[in-house]
Structure 1
Amino acid sequence: MSLPPEDAEARRAVAPVICYPTETLPQPDMALYAAALAGAEEVDKIRAAPRDAACFEVPAGHFFRIDSVEGPQVGDLNLWNARDLSERFYSGKTRALHGTHVTTGDRLWSSFPNLRPMATIVADTLDWYGIDAFGGSVHDVIGTRCDPYTGALLSGQAYHHCCHSNLTRALATWLDCPVHEAEPHIHDVLNVFMCTGFTRDTGQYFMKASPVRPGDHLTFLAEIDLLGALSACPGGDCSAEHSSDTAQCHPLEVTILRPKAGALDRWVRPKPNAYDRSHGV
């Protein structure tokens, strides 16, 4: 390690600047959303089995709720525009705008060139958790998803029920296509219910036992027509390891809810980003 300069402490003491102040972001009408959710009716229910994934569709202006139903379990969520799979959830930009973890009032943003809200979190029964003494919090947009490539790199073994493979199989089944055609659509996830952070000394990504329990849920409003895929992670509550068959795992449920007629009359479907895509040419 090189010797620190004389002004090392002064350099460290420079105050940080928020990269993307969000005061000018269009704000969701949370009171309207909450009222519409209170009167919404269940129209469908989908179950992601342990160490597997399931796809589901949500029309714009409907809600979807992810439920812990049998035991502590984390899930990996992918979202696409149901009419155009090239528009998909952009975890990196969501992280840049809202922070490393998301909760009620935060939005899941789509990829370029659209960069618009895909879904808004309307209710979160784990919002009480906050940030713990280790720097951990819930529902992260920093982890990429457990995958067989990193597993092969670190252990030399092939494991096919990690979240990347689960999502790939589920999407291939939904699209009725080979897995090699579905795989390029799989992208970085929202880690639902997962408790994660970065270590203070080495800056490494860590996970710890999720605080989720049966009855906990995370609820979204679909801002556009959505295709979703949810994997019930092979790590279970991620208290010890993932990408293995040793952790105790449980299913997750997705419930689709339709608001009453007129409940969202003031809601406006978000348009694609206003940038003209000229790139200075």
Structure 2
Amino acid sequence: MDWQGEIAAARSRIRGHARVTPVARLTLGGHDIEVKLEQMQLTGSFKARGAFNTLLSVDVPAAGVVAASGGNHGAAVGFAAAALGHPAHIFVPEVAGPAKIAVIERSGATCHVVPGLYADALEAARAHEAETGAMQVHAYDAVPTVAGQGTCFAEWDAQGLEADTVLVAVGGGGLIAGALAHWAGRRKVVAVEPRLSRALHAALEAGEPVDVPVSGVGANALGAKRIGSIAFELARGMEAVVVEDAAILEAQRVLWQEARQLVEPAGACALAGLLSGAYRPAPGERVAVLVCGANPAPDPLG
């Protein structure tokens, strides 16, 4: 796969549709780091990049698009579909919660709430696809999605990223796959997962993607039952750490109290890897953190 070519094409394709998000040098929890504030992306997460790249790279059928989502992907697909004039049906599990469901409904999509977890929403979305002919937009395990997420890291390089190591949160794997596809060994990428939603860790231990139980504070954004195959292939041999829910909530608090950045738990997961000591930089190692989601529940201003 020519990932560099795919990501370059995606950057050109989504220009003018997705937002260029800012970077900042911050001291958080006593660590001097560079941070990319991707939670300021349209709909509040990096997902808009993959959604726009997917819809702009194909002929969308008259039946429109369908997606399963824990919340952020659905909001992004709904927003991109509305912007491009396509109908969208989004299937979300109950665990998504009212705040993220409201974001999806504001996007203009038709939102269907499904009992259970993400896997149940995905099954319902696939049934809708088979019945109507709508195009499925996968949340993480598709080349256009991964290439779209990869634009975040190409953009960061263009903004002058100097770090040796970048910490990235992992759910289903679209975002970490984008980072690994873009940097391909040219920069160290560290995966950070919640201990209660550890699909990548389980796959790396088993030597193949496997199902895991999902729970915890980040489950509605990082709660994939199984890591995507693209992410797994790109992640072989990479360094990955896990963090406790308490560490994620502490990182969320630090981002608000020390930088006035309001994020959801999943958005603070990568920072939790650093603040908790799950990842310990070597002396002189320059570390950067991607902040990836800004749709907390409940929405304090909703």
TM-score by length of 1: 0.25
Who wins on radius of gyration, i.e. which is larger? 1
User: Higher strand proportion, which one?
Assistant: 1
Higher relative contact order (CA 8 A, sep 6+): 1
TM-score by length of 2: 0.24
User: Higher helix proportion, which one?
Assistant: 2
